[in-house]
Chain A
């Protein structure tokens, strides 16, 4: 294939324009999630008092340490980070100074969660999907809809943002591919490490005995159930590519729905059984849907409910009594 053909294929895959409302919707969901996440994890400020012996920084955070010294990881600094992060996430959620707020929120959110375990992988990995999403949204026109910025621009008589945008398409595609590569990569690592018999290899059983909740420990007594769970989880991870299938066909849409529903259940189970929080990753499954339709459809449903309530005999009787 000629170079021109490859370039065109690349551009079509990564830069197909999508409605700006879709990235705006993702912005609101991701920022509200991150806001609640940060607001309810104040205990992390105590990590600033941790002995430096336990700090096993990832290379990227070692660079920051070289630039800022240990002060940036102190409890006082983490308290400041929490406040600034909450303000920037609130601004990004309502779309006030959206790009700047997202540009600040992405690295601060990474810093916040990484500090939980001495800037080692454990803290930084659980929220990775949300960190990456905040980062790509900062590049995309995520403030083009459902935002104070868009309302202000309209009031000042400025030209409204385009309805569909190629960079918005890139942001959605990047976040989706990121999730797909991470999930499929995780399945490949499991099979490469423990062989195709990974579900029966005792990995999940062992994790349940080590980290399991009461329910997890109870479940560990039924190996067949644990292995069935492990098998379905492996199949689910390995088939994350369904998120990239075209949405035109009825079959691919249903496949995607099954995948997303199982994913939501799997994430809930890993929290209940192992105390592992992958909610941020699950949240990104919504990228597989035309989110811009959610708002008008939700509005329509609310209108219908309101109309039914107005026309119901009970309401009419209440009115007549008045």
Chain B
């Protein structure tokens, strides 16, 4: 048993693939994009923050009850990333609605109505609880969006 040299064609193909991947990975990292996944430049916990944020949607239904929407209510595996795109949080200022937030909220309410035809939503509010840093200070709640 000795040292096995790989066939020239295989080395050539692997080299081309490796070079293409390197270009894709560096591009994704520089652009911070996930479009070329599995080459991805998106990372968690990167932004400078002066507070912690918790988002919530509360709806009033036809039966008059108030209900805080949970992922299972609207058939979502998780609502974290969906809700994060509803809000714009510039550093050192108050949270506000992000671009396209109205449309996203419409779609979420539509998902609720599809799953609860007997108890449809009549109104909804999307608010953000701001927890100032350092932790332990009193949180404040801001209403960001109303529906309809």
Contacts and interface: CB of A to CB of B under 8 A. Distances in A.
B37 A124 contact: yes
A181 B77 contact: no
A50 B134 contact: no
A125 B6 CA distance: 32
Interface in A1-54: 10-11, 14-15, 17, 46-47, 49-51, 53-54
A223 interface: yes
Give chain A's interface secondary structure class.
helix
B42 interface: yes
Nearest to A207: B45
B90 interface: no
Interface string A55-92: 01011100000000000000000000000000000000
A183 B49 CA distance: 22
Nearest to B134: A223
A31 to B, nearest CB: 19
Interface in B44-86: 44-54, 74-78, 80-82
Interface centre among A162, A163, A186, A206 (most CB of B within 10 A): A206
B18 interface: yes
Interface centre among B4, B40, B111, B115 (most CB of A within 10 A): B4
Nearest to B82: A54
B138 interface: no
A162 B41 contact: no
Contact of A51 (B32, B42, B52, B75): B75
A205 B32 contact: no
Interface string A156-189: 0000111111110010001000100110011011
**Which range contains the number of A residues in contact with the other chain?**
35 or more
Contact of A58 (B22, B34, B46): B34
Nearest to A220: B135
B38 A131 contact: yes
Nearest to B28: A185
Interface residues of B, number: 55
A221 B44 CA distance: 21
Given A53-B107, A170-B14, A207 B54 contact: no
A217 B52 CA distance: 11
B14 A167 contact: yes
Contacts of A166: 4-6, 11
Contacts of A189: 29, 32, 41, 43, 46
A80 B25 CA distance: 32
Interface stretch (A191-199, A258-266, A297-305, A310-318): A191-199
A53 B108 contact: yes
B45 A167 contact: no
A45 B22 CA distance: 34
A174 B20 CA distance: 13
Nearest to A132: B38
A206 B133 contact: yes
Given A122-B80, A128-B38, A221-B136, 15 more contacts: A17-B4, A51-B75, A54-B75, A58-B35, A59-B36, A60-B38, A121-B34, A164-B3, A182-B25, A185-B43, A198-B48, A202-B49, A202-B51, A204-B45, A206-B51
